[in-house]
Amino acid sequence: MLPGYAGTILRIDLTQDKIAKQPLPAEMAHSFIGGRGFVAKTLFDELPPQADPLGPENLFIAASGPMSGHFMPASGKTHFGCKSPATGGYGDSNLGGHFGPSLKYAGYDMLILTGRAPQASLLVIEDERIALKPAGDLWGMGSIATEARLKAELGDAYQILTIGPAGENGVVYACITHDFGRQAGRVGIGAVLGSKNIKAIAVKGTGSIPVADPKAALTEGLNAFQAIRTKPGFTGWTPEGTAGITDWINRVGAFPTRNFQTSYWDQHTQINGAAILRELKITDKGCYCCPTPCGKYGKARTGLGDVYVEGPEFETISLLGSNCLIGEISEIAYANYVCDELGLDTISAGVVCSWAIECYEKGLLDRETIGRDVQFGDLASVVHLLECISRREGIGDLLAHGVKTAAQKVGQGSEAFAIHVKGLEWSGYECRNAPGMMLAYMTSDIGAHHARAWVLGHDLAGSSGSVHDLIASKGKRERLPKSEVTGRAANVIASQHLRPLFDLLGICRLQFMELGFEVEHYERLFAVITGNPLSWDDMLAVSEKVWHLTRSISARELQGFGRAWDYPPERFMAEPIPDGPNEGHCISRAEIDILLDEYYDLRGWDRNGLPTAATLERCGLKAVARTMATWACHGDG
């Protein structure tokens, strides 16, 4: 028995309909903790190299962590992994809600799907009973509609993952939806599930998770819930959730606007957290055991119709909102709903739509190709594109490949404003004058995603003493000084170990990040739950190991992978920001190279961005170093 863990890995070969239950190896638990660690370890060991991301040989992995499902704040995270159809490299994405805990109560820490079901199927897991059922009647249905129907048919106690038409049709940024509005949005994980002919996974668990010291787990858990109530952010941050930073992001000139043409939009107060509370919200909607629910469930009333929808959270406000110039919160919520139902990641979909609209404005895509006029600020234009993409109709077939591939096909300079890294579209922070954050996006292992590292505060503090006076008078758009480029790597690396650590543990980071919930609580809870008194630094060391491992996986999967994959789009290096607090700023290619050199050196990677054998061995990845040598893709030195 491994306290904290359910103790079993569930493997299903969908082609053969063969089920295997394997004891969770203690060595794996100790060396990789869980969640993202399990995903990376499994992909490295078991993914056939050079596999087609949407072929039967790819793996679909769902993994909780040792703290998932336990009595502590926000223990509801589930991590998903695959070879990404968006980037061709390492891919993972996570969601909150209740799925991972239920999977553990059913007895499983991790679910690994291989092969491809012969027909559209629904996977039902009820404790030890596993069944693959035909689901042809669900194929084509929306994500939310599918979940509602399965809840009605199977019962309230089931926790359900679904995909929408986008996942069925192999859109490389298709997501997984759960609990009527929680998504594992990134890297195309929904397309991988769709490629396996799995429309939905339903789990009901009625078992117990073993815990090292149940009495202490109760006491420490109660202490933790009490302690979090004393944080001012408990009442101050929770009401608006992630949307609460909208005004600030705009104030510091980091708000992606008009396909990242600029970073400031004066309509931000129409689409901020307060607007959600004013116009949309019905209830706060929490993930498992979350004391500070950031989910805002509500009803949006628009000219296109009224819809119930969870969100929009900040990233959606940014990419479907300001970046598409949608300036009404109800309209952003409507686009959010359309993405949820179709099964599209709101971040990537927002970037793809804004790129397509800019192409249309510039005459690179015409009305006939797109199927109608499209323009910034027009909800109907965005909805048209989303629907085409999810069904791969007309222009949608091109856009379904993501902005990198679409721009390569359209050409004519459109690559310069295709905003992505490694083929994954950029999330909600513009950083032409935030070099640390730029580096975070450039080196994020899955592509341009903010969840791996977030250092905008350091960028602002490091820009100059004059920031003190920046907002002395409200409404005046004073200019931020140019931020220093050197010395950025250390904070980025620290953040890249810290934030993904929560993804190893299977819990949410927001209580720590946003409310200041202390490390000591996590250490004590980990010890009483698992019986393994790891220090926070011990856990961070595992997080670092996983970072080198995910980089190694991408190096194995992508021919010629290295430094060239880490550059931001040309727009950020060639076009100074036209207005707002960062007016006039951009970042040169030489500065990008300084960022990368410092980063690689501190990481122990070579100047081509590949982990050296010495680094891999230092972090306990000797076997990885050996394998990488046979693939001739580890770093020199």
Whole-number minimum distance, CB 71 to other proteins, in Å? 5
Question: With binding defined as CB under 8 A, does residue 272 bind other proteins?
Answer: no
- Cα-based distances in Å from 568 to 411, 518, 584: 17, 35, 18
Site for other proteins in 155-184 (CB under 8 A): 156, 179-181
CB burial readout 262-282, b (16+ within 10 A) else e = bbbbebbebbbbbbbbebbbe
Question: With binding defined as CB under 8 A, does residue 242 bind other proteins?
Answer: yes
Whole-number minimum distance, CB 382 to other proteins, in Å? 19
Question: With binding defined as CB under 8 A, does residue 299 bind other proteins?
Answer: yes
Whole-number minimum distance, CB 106 to other proteins, in Å? 10
Q: Which is nearer to other proteins, 111 or 451 (CB)?
A: 451
**Listed residue (78, 132, 124) closest to 100, CA to CA:** 78
x/- site string to other proteins, residues 306 to 335, per CB under 8 A? --x----xxx--x-----------------
Question: With binding defined as CB under 8 A, does residue 129 bind other proteins?
Answer: no
Provide the residue count of the chain: 637
**404-412, 446-454, 570-578, 593-601 -> range binding other proteins (CB under 8 A):** 446-454
How many residues interact with other proteins (rule CB under 8 A)?
88
Report the alpha-carbon distance of residue 259 to residue 108 in Å, rounded: 42
Instruction: Return the ∠ at Cα 565 (arms to 559 and 571), rounded to 5°.
Output: 145
Instruction: Please identify which residue in 108, 158, 237, 502 interacts with other proteins, judged by CB under 8 A.
Output: 237
Report the alpha-carbon distance of residue 428 to residue 170 in Å, rounded: 24
Q: Which is nearer to other proteins, 2 or 624 (CB)?
A: 2
Render 257-315 in DSSP notation, one character per residue: BTTTTBS--TTGGGSSHHHHHHHTEEEEE--TT-SS--EEEEEEEETTEEEEEE---HH
Instruction: Please identify which residue in 249, 357, 553, 595 interacts with other proteins, judged by CB under 8 A.
Output: 249
Residue 341 in 3-state DSSP? helix
What is the arrangement of strands in the sheet containing 305-310, beginning at the earlier edge strand? Answer: 281-285, 295-302, 305-310
Question: With binding defined as CB under 8 A, does residue 213 bind other proteins?
Answer: no
Whole-number minimum distance, CB 285 to other proteins, in Å? 6
- Cα-based distances in Å from 455 to 37, 331, 489, 595: 23, 30, 10, 14
Site for other proteins in 347-366 (CB under 8 A): none
Report the alpha-carbon distance of residue 24 to residue 12 in Å, rounded: 15
Q: Which is nearer to other proteins, 202 or 374 (CB)?
A: 202
Whole-number minimum distance, CB 246 to other proteins, in Å? 8
Q: Which is nearer to other proteins, 236 or 303 (CB)?
A: 236
Instruction: Please identify which residue in 471, 540, 573, 586 interacts with other proteins, judged by CB under 8 A.
Output: 471
The interaxial angle of helices 329-342 and 346-361, nearest 10 deg, is 110
Question: With binding defined as CB under 8 A, does residue 93 bind other proteins?
Answer: no
**192-200, 294-302, 413-421, 561-569 -> range binding other proteins (CB under 8 A):** 294-302
Q: What pairing do the DSSP bridges indicate for beta strands 90-95 and 78-83?
A: antiparallel
Instruction: Please identify which residue in 17, 130, 216, 248 interacts with other proteins, judged by CB under 8 A.
Output: 248
Q: Which is nearer to other proteins, 246 or 414 (CB)?
A: 246
Torsion angle of the four alpha carbons 424, 429, 435, 437, in this order, in degrees rounded to the nearest 10: -70
Two tokens, residue 306: 């009224």
Residue 556 in 3-state DSSP? helix
Q: Which is nearer to other proteins, 334 or 360 (CB)?
A: 334
Whole-number minimum distance, CB 209 to other proteins, in Å? 4
**CB contact at 8 A, 602 and 497:** no
Whole-number minimum distance, CB 211 to other proteins, in Å? 5
Report the alpha-carbon distance of residue 459 to residue 453 in Å, rounded: 13
Question: With binding defined as CB under 8 A, does residue 426 bind other proteins?
Answer: no
Whole-number minimum distance, CB 176 to other proteins, in Å? 16
**44-52, 58-66, 451-459, 609-617 -> range binding other proteins (CB under 8 A):** 451-459
Report the alpha-carbon distance of residue 433 to residue 113 in Å, rounded: 43
Residues facing residue 295 across a β-bridge: 285
Whole-number minimum distance, CB 632 to other proteins, in Å? 37
**297-305, 370-378, 541-549, 586-594 -> range binding other proteins (CB under 8 A):** 297-305
Instruction: Please identify which residue in 233, 371, 531, 578 interacts with other proteins, judged by CB under 8 A.
Output: 233
Question: Which residues, 6 or more positions from 152, have their beta carbon under 8 angstroms from its beta carbon?
Answer: none
Question: With binding defined as CB under 8 A, does residue 488 bind other proteins?
Answer: no
Question: With binding defined as CB under 8 A, does residue 435 bind other proteins?
Answer: no
Question: With binding defined as CB under 8 A, does residue 229 bind other proteins?
Answer: yes
Two tokens, residue 343: 């099964």
Question: With binding defined as CB under 8 A, does residue 567 bind other proteins?
Answer: no
Backbone phi and psi for residue 80, each to the nearest 5 degrees, phi listed first: -120, 150
Largest CA distance in the chain: 67
State the number of CA atoms in the 13 A half-sphere of 509 facing the CB.
Answer: 17
**CB contact at 8 A, 79 and 506:** yes
Whole-number minimum distance, CB 509 to other proteins, in Å? 8
Q: Which is nearer to other proteins, 14 or 460 (CB)?
A: 460
Question: With binding defined as CB under 8 A, does residue 225 bind other proteins?
Answer: yes
Q: Which is nearer to other proteins, 251 or 521 (CB)?
A: 251
Question: With binding defined as CB under 8 A, does residue 24 bind other proteins?
Answer: no
State the number of CA atoms in the 13 A half-sphere of 152 facing the CB.
Answer: 6
Site for other proteins in 496-555 (CB under 8 A): 499, 509, 513-514, 516
The interaxial angle of helices 489-505 and 589-603, nearest 10 deg, is 60
Question: With binding defined as CB under 8 A, does residue 243 bind other proteins?
Answer: yes
Site for other proteins in 570-629 (CB under 8 A): none
Whole-number minimum distance, CB 467 to other proteins, in Å? 5
